[in-house]
């Protein structure tokens, strides 16, 4: 007996070699199943990551706003026959009370990575005869880039936000006919105006944002919008983006302020994302079940075919536990071999996908990474599936009566 391998392992390998065609077919079935699972998982992860990056590239994970103003009747008349009609109050541009204290408190809250104050409101950008409706956004650049990577989206100039310089989007620059170094005027509805030089032009991948957003210093926006010393919102970046809504509800409960997460503001997108993930999980479960039943069916046939050999082994003193382990090892070996081949196939499929799925300019449609953890996880799962699938055939083999099995 080989001292490196137990008897059960040697017998399991021999049984698999004797039923070579069956073993090849079931290993191929496991390999295809694992390849499908790994390929779909990597593809979905890359697709979702790309969509999320594009969705969150121009917005914060959580935005904290002042509570809505509610119109209330001045008085109530007991036993009145006609109820007062109270129209919803128009929302004014207001500052968050004691926002500095709130900012400092949020920065210490677990799960929050960055907090950036923002003073934003409607205005007009004017240059010569051209006039466009815009959103003035006053920021502290060093803090804001921790929430939205605006510095990575600059396509011309630089992220120069100063009392005399502003950063605008590509579409707005085209509409106004301006470039880096050109001047334009910002005018608000309350009659205040200020002239800025274009310090940089950004492209956030969203035409509406590129046409509308104008970034200026926080104190300049506070002056233009009559929010002296105040901010209209606090933008937050969180550590785990899919827990943003839970964190937003917690902030709302503790502060009484309105906290909108990206999940809430992109509800339809998030629902589609969840449905996509659920569908992929269901597909993987059914693929794993088909692999499990395939392994089990082959091993059941093996028990019938090898009943005489099993009977002889039992008559020679092999215990029921050893016979059972023999078939469990077969299932594990089939799962392991199939998962190794399937992982290699999936890697080749993903390499081919990268060569095929490209944008018109030749860049990849989206990034797909072959995660080592995914490959190891698939191999472990397939091996465990093979062992679990072999439990019923193994128990059946261990219960064979030696005399009956030898007689056939």
- Residue range 288-320, pLDDT digits in tens: 888 888 888 877 777 777 777 777 777 777 787
Beta strand 193-202 with 165-169 is parallel
For 276, other C-beta atoms within 10 Å of its C-beta total 14
| Geometric angle at alpha carbon 259, from 67 and 74, rounded to 5° | 15
* Residue 141 near residue 264, CB atoms below 8 Å: no
Q: List, in order, residues 6 or more apart from 177 with CB less than 8 Å away.
A: 127, 128, 130
Dihedral over alpha carbons 147, 151, 155, 157 (to 10 degrees): 140
Ranges assigned E (strand) in 101-192: 112-127, 130-139, 154-157, 165-169, 183-187
Instruction: Please give the span between the terminal C-alpha atoms of the chain, in angstroms, as a whole number.
Output: 28
Q: Sort 76 into a burial class: Cβ within 10 Å, 0-12 / 13-18 / 19+.
A: exposed
CB contact burial 364-393 (16+ within 10 A = b; e otherwise): eebebeeeeebbeebbebbbebbbbbbeeb
* Spatial distance between the Cα atoms of 289 and 270, rounded to a whole number of angstroms: 29
Q: What one-character DSSP code corresponds to residue 71?
A: -
Q: CA-CA-CA-CA torsion for 337, 340, 342, 345, nearest 10 degrees?
A: -130
CA distance 76 to 69: 19
CA 202/CA 214 separation, integer angstroms: 10
C-alpha closest to that of 176 among 163, 164, 185: 185
Asked if residue 327 lies in contact with residue 394, where contact means CB atoms within 8 angstroms, the answer is yes
Q: What is the mean pLDDT of each run of 10 residues along the chain (408 residues)?
A: 65 80 85 88 82 78 81 54 53 79 91 93 92 93 91 92 94 94 92 93 89 94 90 92 91 90 86 84 84 80 73 77 84 88 88 78 72 84 85 79 66
DSSP for residue 162: B
Number of H-type helices and E-type strands within the chain: 15, 10
Strand ranges for 50-164 from DSSP E: 62-65, 112-127, 130-139, 154-157
Asked if 337 contacts 30 with a C-beta cutoff of 8 angstroms, the reply is yes
At residue 204's C-alpha, the angle toward residues 203 and 209, to 5°, is: 100
Asked whether the beta carbons of 34 and 382 are under 8 A apart, the reply is: yes
CB 264 within 8 A of CB 61: no
Residue 398: exposed, middle, or buried by beta-carbon count in 10 A (0-12, 13-18, 19+)?
buried
Other CB atoms within 10 Å distance of the CB of residue 249: 13
Name the 3-class secondary structure at 20.
Answer: helix
Under 8 Å between Cβ of 106 and 112: yes
User: For 118-128, what is each residue's pLDDT tens digit?
Assistant: 999 999 999 98
pTM of the entire structure?
A: 0.70
């Amino acid at each position: 007996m080989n001292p490196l391998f137990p008897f059960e392992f040697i017998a399991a390998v021999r049984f698999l070699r004797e039923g070579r065609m069956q073993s090849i077919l079931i290993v191929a079935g496991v390999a295809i199943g694992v390849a499908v699972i790994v390929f779909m998982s990597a593809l979905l992860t890359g697709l979702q990551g790309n969509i999320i990056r594009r969705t969150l590239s121009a917005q914060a994970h959580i935005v904290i706003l002042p509570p809505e103003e509610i119109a209330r009747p001045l008085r109530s008349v007991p036993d009145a026959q006609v109820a007062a009609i109270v129209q919803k109050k128009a929302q004014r541009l207001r500052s968050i009370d004691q926002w500095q204290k709130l900012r400092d408190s949020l920065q210490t809250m677990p799960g929050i990575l960055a907090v950036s104050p923002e003073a934003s409101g409607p205005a007009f950008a004017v240059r010569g005869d051209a006039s466009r409706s815009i959103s003035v956004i006053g920021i502290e650049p060093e803090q804001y880039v921790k929430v939205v990577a605006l510095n990575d989206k600059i396509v011309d100039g630089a992220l120069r936000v100063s009392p005399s310089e502003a950063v605008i989007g590509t579409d707005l620059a085209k509409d106004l006919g301006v470039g880096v170094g050109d001047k334009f005027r910002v005018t608000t509805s309350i009659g205040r105006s200020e002239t800025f030089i274009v310090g940089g032009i950004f492209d956030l991948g969203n035409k509406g944002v590129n046409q509308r957003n104008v970034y200026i210093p926080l104190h300049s926006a506070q002056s233009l919008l009559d929010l002296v010393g105040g901010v209209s919102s606090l933008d937050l970046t969180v550590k785990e983006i899919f827990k943003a809504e839970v964190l937003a509800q917690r902030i709302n409960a503790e502060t009484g302020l309105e906290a909108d997460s990206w999940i809430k503001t992109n509800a339809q997108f998030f629902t589609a994302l969840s449905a996509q993930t659920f569908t992929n999980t269901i597909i993987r479960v059914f693929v794993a079940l088909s692999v499990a039943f395939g392994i089990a069916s082959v091993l059941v046939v093996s028990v019938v075919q090898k009943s005489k050999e099993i009977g002889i082994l039992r008559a020679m003193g092999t215990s029921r536990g050893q016979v059972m382990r023999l078939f469990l090892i077969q299932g594990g070996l089939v799962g392991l071999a199939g998962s190794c081949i399937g992982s290699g196939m999936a890697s080749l499929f993903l390499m081919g996908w990268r060569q095929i799925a490209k944008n018109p300019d030749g860049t990849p449609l989206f990034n797909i990474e072959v995660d080592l953890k995914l490959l190891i996880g698939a191999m472990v799962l397939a091996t465990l599936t093979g062992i679990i699938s072999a439990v019923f055939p193994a128990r059946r083999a261990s219960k064979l009566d030696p005399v009956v099995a030898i007689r056939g």
